[in-house]
Every structure is written in structure tokens, then in C-alpha cells.
């Protein structure tokens, strides 16, 4: 079993829909990261959080430390949100352990 | 502009040849990392460096080597001992190793023919 599990693996939505991507982890962590990878391959860090909730524009990330679970929400989704979303956790010495990613496709 | 550069974007090599991937950052970050990404798998850590002249093996270091002679540079050599070198390689940096957001380069796609 992977230390970081994401669901779903693939997600297709219509423009405007509310999207949720889930991440569960099995190890103790110092922080959880949500990353976005576009088709060209470059990765952008969206959020780093260790408790509660963070919001940036249409993106919201939450974490429940007791349940070892985090969610990434996208409100009013748009085709430009189409990307791979990756959950990663920082455990020892800041080393990141990554989930397999969720491929999101938003159709106009 | 501050950032991380990796070159080239695409690299082709013949089997049995060593190849070096470059990674440069001008963010004044202490820590740098190399990851490998294969289809359907999460990123895996190859090597990381917390400070100049120091580096540590990650989860899949076999067949790879690195150096950290300058703060801004962390080149990765894929040696002929690496059994499956064809992959997407990403370099990242962070101000410190512990509990820091990492900033990623654009990646190099290596194909070994």
C-alpha cells in the first residue's frame, strides 16, 4: 500500500462544476503539499498546509490531521484547470513522498 | 527573474552512455533535489542536497550520481548502470530541507535508445 493515496485517479468535469480531489496518507507528517503539473511537465506548488484550510482564488485545500486526509477543491472549474494534481507529504527531513496524481480534464 | 532552469528539455542518448542533466537555481536556496517521474507512478526522490559539498541518497539512487560544488548548481549524471533510464527528470529547490515548499524546474525528458 502506498504511503500517499489519491482519488480519483481520473476525473472529467464540465466547465463550472465543483471538483474535489482526495488524498489520504498513512505516515506522520510535518506538512502536506498540493502540486499542479501541466501537460508540458512543469510543476507548480499550489498549497502547503499543516492544519485547517487554505484558499487561493478558486482553489481551496483542507487537511484533517487526525483522519490523515486532505482535499483539494476547485470551484467554478474551467478548461484551463485541466492538469495533473499531485498530493505530497513531508515526513522526515522535509523529504516529500508523492501520490500518483489525479488527472483532471475540464470540458467547455 | 528568479527560478530553476533545467536543460535541455529533451535529451536522447544511446544505451551504455553516461549523460549529465543540468539544474541551476538563482533563488539562493540551500536545498536541492532530483526526482524521477514514470508514467502512472508518483515522483520518486533520487538524491538531495542540503548544503554545498553535501548530498544524500534518496529512494532510487542506484545508477545515478550527483555533485554540489556550487550553491546554485546540482547536476545529475545518469550512468550506464541505471537499468531503465528513460524517464522524466525534475529538479527542485527549497530554502531549507525541513518543512519547506519546494520549487520545481521545467524537467528534462531523457530517452535512451
CA-CA-CA-CA torsion sign (A24, A44, A52, A15): negative
| Chain segment A70-106, per-residue pLDDT in tens | 999 999 999 999 999 999 998 766 678 899 999 999 9
Confidence band (pLDDT; 50, 70, 90) for B1? low
Q: Distance (Å) from the C-alpha of residue A107 to the closest C-alpha of chain B?
A: 23
pLDDT at position B2, please?
67
pLDDT at position B97, please?
67
CA-CA-CA-CA torsion sign (B39, A92, B25, A55): positive
**Nearest-by-CA chain B residue for A85:** B42
CA dihedral of A38, A41, A42, A45, whole degrees rounded to 10: 60
Interchain pair A86, B103: CB under 8 A: no
| Chain segment A15-29, per-residue pLDDT in tens | 999 999 999 999 888
Mean predicted lDDT score pLDDT of chain B: 91
Residues of A in contact with B33 (CB under 8 A): 96
pLDDT at position B101, please?
84
Q: Which of A48, A93, A100 sits opposite B40 (nearest CB)?
A: A100
Q: Distance (Å) from the C-alpha of residue A98 to the closest C-alpha of chain B?
A: 5
**Nearest-by-CA chain A residue for B47:** A95
Give mean pLDDT, residues B34-54: 92
| Chain segment B7-34, per-residue pLDDT in tens | 889 999 998 899 999 999 999 999 999 9
Helices and strands, counts by H and E, chain A: 0, 11
Tell me how far CA of residue A92 lies from CA of A42, B25, B92, B93, in angstroms. 25, 24, 17, 17
Region of A79 please: left (phi>0), alpha (psi -120 to 50) or beta: alpha
Amino acid at each position: 500500500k502506498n504511503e500517499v493515496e489519491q482519488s480519483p485517479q481520473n476525473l472529467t468535469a464540465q466547465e463550472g462544476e465543483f471538483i474535489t480531489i482526495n488524498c489520504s496518507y498513512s505516515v506522520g507528517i510535518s506538512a502536506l503539499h498540493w502540486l499542479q503539473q501541466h501537460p508540458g511537465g512543469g510543476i507548480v506548488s499550489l498549497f502547503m498546509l499543516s492544519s485547517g484550510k487554505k484558499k487561493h482564488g478558486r482553489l481551496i485545500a483542507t487537511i484533517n490531521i487526525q483522519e490523515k486526509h486532505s482535499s483539494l477543491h476547485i470551484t467554478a472549474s474551467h478548461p484551463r484547470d485541466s492538469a495533473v494534481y499531485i498530493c505530497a507529504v513531508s515526513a522526515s527531513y522535509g523529504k516529500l513522498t508523492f501520490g500518483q496524481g489525479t488527472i483532471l480534464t475540464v470540458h467547455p | 527573474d528568479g527560478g530553476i532552469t533545467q536543460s535541455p528539455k529533451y535529451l536522447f542518448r544511446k544505451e551504455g552512455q553516461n549523460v549529465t542533466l543540468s539544474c541551476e537555481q538563482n533563488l539562493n536556496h540551500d536545498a536541492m533535489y532530483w526526482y524521477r517521474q514514470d508514467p502512472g507512478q508518483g515522483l520518486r526522490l533520487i538524491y538531495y542536497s542540503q548544503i554545498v559539498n553535501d548530498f544524500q541518497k534518496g529512494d532510487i539512487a542506484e545508477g545515478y550520481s550527483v555533485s554540489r560544488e556550487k550553491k546554485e548548481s546540482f547536476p545529475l549524471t545518469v550512468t550506464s548502470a541505471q537499468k531503465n533510464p528513460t524517464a522524466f527528470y525534475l529538479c527542485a529547490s527549497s530554502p531549507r530541507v525541513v518543512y519547506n515548499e519546494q520549487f520545481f524546474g521545467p524537467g528534462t525528458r531523457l530517452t535512451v535508445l
